[in-house]
């Protein structure tokens, strides 16, 4: 409703970034706005307040901006999923496909205990490649994950179907077609 329209109005769209032909949805303009940032976090928190959860996982780097405050508000621990070489202890690693080539993500292998229930938070769902790698990392730790939250979804890019096929239900506040 009105709140979601307000959040959507705070997201700037940058044409041809980072490459020609891409419409980049910029969440820095959203988090710069104190009311828009707080409202976004509050909406995500409200959605999961009654859901039994143990940890929130956020993916580098914009997933940290939203995932950490959601975790703190829900009284949960926050676990960063990071690009290679950033985490100091023993890690699990997963590769995932980009438009051109492969990228990798890592998690501390003891960050999630077997049986812990995990929520993934990221800024934006596009093809679902990033979140799919996060799901695999959580499951390799023995964690249980069936929910993922995004500020923005681009439903035309197939990420929602990919997530559901992996047994994870996506939530998004704003959709851009
Ligand atoms: P996917 O892996 O689902 O194809 O892409 C989602 C990931 O790429 C997210 O981690 C997100 O931060 C980043 N991403 C891709 N496109 C955009 C965009 O237009 N805006 C923002 N803020 N992030 C994007």
Angle between helices 62-74 and 34-48 (to 10 degrees): 60
Helix, strand, coil percentages in the chain from 3-state DSSP, rounded to 5: 35, 35, 30
Enter the pTM of the model.
0.97
Residue with the nearest Cα to atom 21 of ligand 1? Answer: 25
**Domains assigned to the chain:** 51-175 (3.40.50.2020)
pLDDT at 151: 98
117 catalytic residue (yes or no): no
For the Cβ of 57 lying below 6 angstroms from any atom of ligand 1, the answer is: no
Radius of gyration for the chain, computed over Cα atoms and rounded to the nearest angstrom: 16
Q: Ligand 1, residues 96, 130, 172, 173: which to mutate, most atoms within 8 A of Cβ?
A: 130
Closest protein CA for atom 20 of ligand 1: 25
For residue 153, report the distance from its CA to the centre of ligand 1, in Å.
Answer: 9
pLDDT tens for the chain, residues 1 to 177? 699 999 999 999 999 999 999 999 999 999 999 999 999 999 999 999 999 999 999 999 999 999 999 999 999 999 999 999 999 999 999 999 987 889 999 999 999 999 999 999 999 999 999 999 999 999 999 999 999 999 999 999 999 999 999 999 999 999 999
Report whether residue 65 contacts ligand 1, using a CB cutoff of 6 Å.
Answer: no
**pLDDT at res. 98:** 85
pLDDT at 175: 98
> Residue 115: what pLDDT?
98
């Amino acid at each position: 409703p009105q709140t979601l329209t307000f959040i959507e109005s705070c997201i700037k769209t940058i044409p041809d970034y980072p490459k020609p032909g891409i419409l980049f949805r910029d969440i820095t303009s959203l988090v710069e706005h104190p009311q828009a940032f707080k409202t976004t976090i509050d909406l995500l928190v409200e959605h999961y307040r009654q859901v039994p959860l143990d940890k929130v996982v956020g993916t580098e780097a914009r997933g940290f901006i939203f995932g950490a405050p959601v975790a703190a508000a829900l009284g949960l621990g926050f676990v960063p999923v990071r690009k290679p070489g950033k985490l100091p202890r023993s890690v699990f690693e997963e590769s995932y496909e980009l438009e051109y080539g492969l990228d990798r993500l890592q998690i501390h292998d003891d960050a999630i205990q077997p049986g812990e229930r995990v929520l993934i938070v990221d800024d934006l769902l596009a093809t679902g490649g990033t979140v799919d790698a996060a799901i695999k990392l959580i499951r390799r730790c023995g964690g249980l994950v069936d929910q993922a939250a995004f500020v923005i979804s681009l439903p035309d890019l197939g990420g929602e179907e990919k997530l559901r096929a992996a047994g994870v239900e996506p939530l998004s506040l704003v959709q851009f077609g």
